[in-house]
Structure 1
Amino acid sequence: MIQWIKKLLGLTRPERITKELIERLPAAKLCRKFIDGELASNMEIEIFDDIMCAVELHAEVFNGGFNQYYYNSGGERAERAGNMFAELGANRIADVVKRADGYYTDCRDELCSVWDGTIKGFSDSYKKFSFDAFDSEYYALVKNEKQLYTLIGTYIKQYPQKFLTGGTE
């Protein structure tokens, strides 16, 4: 409980990412600590941002489907998310994301006109533009958050040099 309070108040320091730590932690926990900022890492590095593109897409899709993802993000980072899934070795997920992004690109102007800033407009967009097939495929491939975190943590374990802090220990 004390650690949680210290973290909440910003009184804790992130732990350095070392080879030993990468090897010791289970993949899902390693990822969670990494994206939660519990590990000292350069948040400005491109790989961190690419990983966050995939995490953000996953969170939005799991909350309200691809329709919600595009509504909230404008799809600005969808291509990077798809590329990150491919880099993680999740080619089928990357394919779903890329196809959903293609569908969004094809109907973006009309879809954006339906999204008029009202709840009704947002609700109508689900009826007029069906991302259901993409949602179903995505949900079949990624069953939960832990599965995504395991993918990312496994990637960190495969390429520790991209994530180590304080040199290559």
Structure 2
Amino acid sequence: MAAKLCRKFINGELASDVECKAFDSIMCAVELHAEVINGGFNQYYYNSDGARAERARETFIKLGAMEVADLVRRANEQFASCRNELHSEWNGTMQGFAYGYNEKVFDLFDDEYYILMKNDKQLYTLIGTYIKQNPQEFLTKEAK
């Protein structure tokens, strides 16, 4: 169910702005998860420049995934500390993109994330539980 609702958000099919605002925060965590599972934190920061990373961390807190939230906090701090160095290397080439991997900038964070979040189902279960426990955040005024 949570995966279907997130897909509706992505497709612009939610019924109201209230739903969109609540799901936008959830999507910050979904985006981080998808990028990290696919290519690690290097890929996440390369593609997003960490623009929604703090909101992702806050969402993991809301979902009750405190260890993941702490991991994202530490990864965000690592990115902030080496942002200028990474930006100087991330020049749009595959070699530039690979710099973070070659220097193992985020390897420890990647390994820890893969241990904590084994699959998509785990994330969507957290989201589904949160939605069930907090329906007021997702119901339209008409439905209340």
TM normalised by structure 1 equals 0.78
Aligned residue identity for 1:42: S
Alignment correspondent of 1:148: 123
CA distance in 1, matches of 2:25, 2:14: 17
SS in 1 for 2:92: coil
Alignment correspondent of 1:115: 90
Q: 1:42 aligns with which of 2, 11, 16?
A: 16
Alignment correspondent of 2:143: 167
TM normalised by structure 2 equals 0.90
Instruction: Give 1:32 deviation, angstroms.
Output: 1.1
CA distance in 1, matches of 2:43, 2:7: 23
Identity of aligned residues (%): 57
Q: 2:70 aligns with which of 95, 100, 104?
A: 95
Matches within 5 A, 1:49-128: 49-128=24-103
Q: Which range is displaced more, 140-149 or 44-53?
A: 44-53
Q: 2:107 aligns with which of 124, 128, 132?
A: 132
Q: Flag as ranges the 4+ runs of structure 1 deviating above 3 A.
A: 38-41
Q: Deviations over 1:22-67 (max 9, x none)?
A: xxxxxxxx21121111874435643211100000000000000000
SS in 2 for 1:36: helix
Report if the CA contact (8 A) 1:41-1:164 is conserved: no
SS in 2 for 1:155: helix
Q: Which range is displaced more, 66-75 or 124-133?
A: 124-133
Unaligned runs of 5+ in 2: none
Greater RCO structure (CA 8 Å; 6+ sep): 1
SS in 1 for 2:124: helix
Q: Which range is displaced more, 145-154 or 121-130?
A: 121-130
Aligned residue-pair number: 139
State the superposition RMSD in angstroms.
Answer: 1.6
Alignment correspondent of 1:9: none
Select the structure of larger CA radius of gyration: 1
Instruction: Give 1:144 deviation, angstroms.
Output: 0.2
CA distance in 1, matches of 2:82, 2:93: 19
Higher helix share: 2
